[in-house]
């Protein structure tokens, strides 16, 4: 990926609503050149979409937890993501290496709601759970640091600006 495309991706990751005019100013390109590059990045799947960042406290979902799951029967089919997809409180499902098979990020209204969700997870996917409750989140949704990455496999990283 070209350095200028890395810069555009980094800027959009920080502010998905940044205008083409602002992107042009930040990159030193013309507005039409930025527009073409953004469309190309979208077409290639580098930029997959744009989303609003939600204040979960404000919408009544102040409790975040990470739930590690592993199958009760290790010989059972590895279909937990499909079995849990209907549970809207699960924000993310990550396949992981280690003792557990997946780690789920969940958001709920209360400890009672978390307890109910854990029961649904166990029942729906026939898994055991280990839960870590988040006390605070100093940061998340950080933009990737792409400046200085190699263009092709084997290239050496360039100096950061």
Residues 36 and 77 reside in one and the same domain? no
- Domain range for 40 is 3-44
Q: Residues 67-84: what's their mean pLDDT?
A: 94
- 146 domain residue, yes or no: no
Between strands 63-71 and 102-108, the pairing is antiparallel
pLDDT digits (tens, 9 = 90+) for 93-143: 999 999 999 999 999 999 999 999 999 999 999 999 999 999 999 999 888
pLDDT for 160 beyond 60: no
- 153 domain residue, yes or no: no
- 31 domain residue, yes or no: yes
Retrieve residue 159's tokens.
């100096």
Q: What secondary structure, in 3-state letters, does 65-121 show?
A: EEEEEEECCCCCCCCHHHHHCCCCCEEEEEECCCCCCEEEEEEECCHHHHHHHHHHH
């Amino acid at each position: 990926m070209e350095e200028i495309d890395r810069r555009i991706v980094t800027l959009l990751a920080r502010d998905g609503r940044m205008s083409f005019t602002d992107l042009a100013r930040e990159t030193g390109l013309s507005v039409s050149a930025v527009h073409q590059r953004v469309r190309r990045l979208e077409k290639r799947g580098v930029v997959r979409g744009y989303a609003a960042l939600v204040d979960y406290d404000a919408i009544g979902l102040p409790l975040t937890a990470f739930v590690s799951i592993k199958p009760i029967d290790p010989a059972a089919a590895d279909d937990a993501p499909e079995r849990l997809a209907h549970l809207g409180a699960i924000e993310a499902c990550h396949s992981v290496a280690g003792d557990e098979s997946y780690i789920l990020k969940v958001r709920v209204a209360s400890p009672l709601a978390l307890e109910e969700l854990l029961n649904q997870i166990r029942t729906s996917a026939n898994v055991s759970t280990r839960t870590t409750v988040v006390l605070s989140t100093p940061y998340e949704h950080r933009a990737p640091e792409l400046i200085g990455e190699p263009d092709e496999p084997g290239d050496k990283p360039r100096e950061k600006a």
